[in-house]
Structure 1
Amino acid sequence: MTIERPEPSFSDSEVGMLRSYLDHFRATVRLQARGLTDAQLDQTLPPSDLTLGGMLKHLAFVEDYWFSYNLAAHEPAPPWDTAPWDDDPDWDWHSAAGASHAELDGLLVDAITRSDACLDSVLAADPDLAQRVARPRDPAKGETATLRWVLVHMVEEYARHVGHADLIRQSIDGAMDI
């Protein structure tokens, strides 16, 4: 499996810059999981219960949640549409246990592909990053995220988890420079 990790742009439009950082971090997380066994993807770094497998599944969910569900107003895709969120609010993390690397990486790659398609479609219709997402987060308060907020949030989400992934991967096999 070849994973290309693009370097973030030094000089680009605001959209181009945000997307280049997002693509860089997306690839970094996938690279941190590459080459590990399915059992290693389930390993934690105590006292945390985070795993690299859970991270792949969580990030697939976050991609679908922000780009497909909120930005483009699509209904949740499988497996999110039938997930028992009321029983386990961290179902995305916990349900990854025992899943194969191929399954989890494929789930993330598919979610990224859908996210990019949603983003491309929204930007083609209106390139303004101040546009509001299709689903208000809290209609009672009048709070609705902008496209700019979603992109910045996704960069932040991945950057935070890349740090987690670095620590977990190093604890598994000593790899430091992925």
Structure 2
Amino acid sequence: MSEIMIDEQGRPEPPASAGEAATLLGFLEWLRGTIAWKTDGLTDAQLRHSLPPTSMTLGGMLKHLAFVEDYWFNHTIGRGEPIEPFNSADWDADEDFDWNSAAHDGGDELRALWRTAMDRSRTLVNGLIEYQPGAMEAVHGPEGRRYSLRWILTHMVEEYARHAGHADLLRESIDGLTGE
């Protein structure tokens, strides 16, 4: 097993030469690290800062990414019930609950929710890959939809990459921090 390289922002570098699962997981971890870099050290008020015309905030992004982690890994693959606060949210009243409700949460709470969701995701995915040969091809999904682990990991890389770009702009508008 090769040594994991950490960049100057504390992100694990994706492997340059690895199998499919390790490559996808490497890029997902690097993007998770990018979001951590762009949100760490900010106050509650800074996490609520938006850049008009959008209402998007970095705090909302943390809660949204916690929801996305929970939905795709815990609920879709693991068939588990959504974690709180997503399990008891009134999604009919606010279909953007994850984004909007973050304005009422503190930064420590948002970071803890996101990290908890990521830890659950890592445990589930690593267990599938380690103990179920062919897990990348296995299909899962609620409501009769079928998804391979490959599709879900690729989707999560896309989800994080899109929001990492948003995080760059939001963070720069808050305190001038720039980067990739």
- In the superposition, the TM-score normalised over structure 2's length comes to 0.91
Q: Does 1:107 align with 2:113?
A: yes
Q: Letter of the 1:160 partner, please give it.
A: R
Q: Is the 8 A contact 1:54 1:94 kept in 2?
A: yes
The DSSP-based 3-state class of the residue aligned with 1:154 is helix
State the Cα RMSD in Å: 1.4
Matches within 5 A, 1:9-158: 9-128=15-134, 129-133=136-140, 135-136=141-142, 138-139=143-144, 143-158=145-160
User: Residue by residue, what CA displacement relative to the aligned partner does 1:80-100 show, whole Å, maximum 9, x if unpaired?
Assistant: 110110100000000000322
- How far residue 53 of structure 1 moved from its aligned partner, in angstroms, is 0.1
Could you say which residue in structure 2 is the equivalent of 1:165? 167
Q: Is the 8 A contact 1:57 1:108 kept in 2?
A: yes
- Which aligned runs of 4 or more in structure 1 are off by greater than 3 angstroms? none
The DSSP-based 3-state class of the residue aligned with 2:104 is coil
Measured in 2, the distance between the counterparts of 1:127 and 1:110 equals 26
- How far residue 71 of structure 1 moved from its aligned partner, in angstroms, is 0.5
Measured in 2, the distance between the counterparts of 1:64 and 1:19 equals 16
The DSSP-based 3-state class of the residue aligned with 1:172 is helix
Identical counterparts, % of pairs: 47
User: Paired residues, what number?
Assistant: 171
Measured in 1, the distance between the counterparts of 2:10 and 2:67 equals 22
- How far residue 40 of structure 1 moved from its aligned partner, in angstroms, is 0.7
Q: Letter of the 1:66 partner, please give it.
A: W
The DSSP-based 3-state class of the residue aligned with 1:23 is helix
The DSSP-based 3-state class of the residue aligned with 1:95 is helix
User: Residue by residue, what CA displacement relative to the aligned partner does 1:3-25 show, whole Å, maximum 9, x if unpaired?
Assistant: 83101111111000000000000
Measured in 2, the distance between the counterparts of 1:65 and 1:81 equals 10
Measured in 2, the distance between the counterparts of 1:124 and 1:69 equals 20
Which runs of no fewer than 5 residues in structure 2 stay unpaired?
A: 1-8
Q: Letter of the 2:81 partner, please give it.
A: E
Q: Is the 8 A contact 1:44 1:51 kept in 2?
A: yes
Q: Letter of the 1:103 partner, please give it.
A: E
Q: Letter of the 1:98 partner, please give it.
A: H
Q: Letter of the 1:130 partner, please give it.
A: E
Q: Letter of the 1:131 partner, please give it.
A: A
Q: Does 1:176 align with 2:170?
A: no
Measured in 2, the distance between the counterparts of 1:70 and 1:123 equals 16
The DSSP-based 3-state class of the residue aligned with 1:29 is helix
The DSSP-based 3-state class of the residue aligned with 2:87 is helix
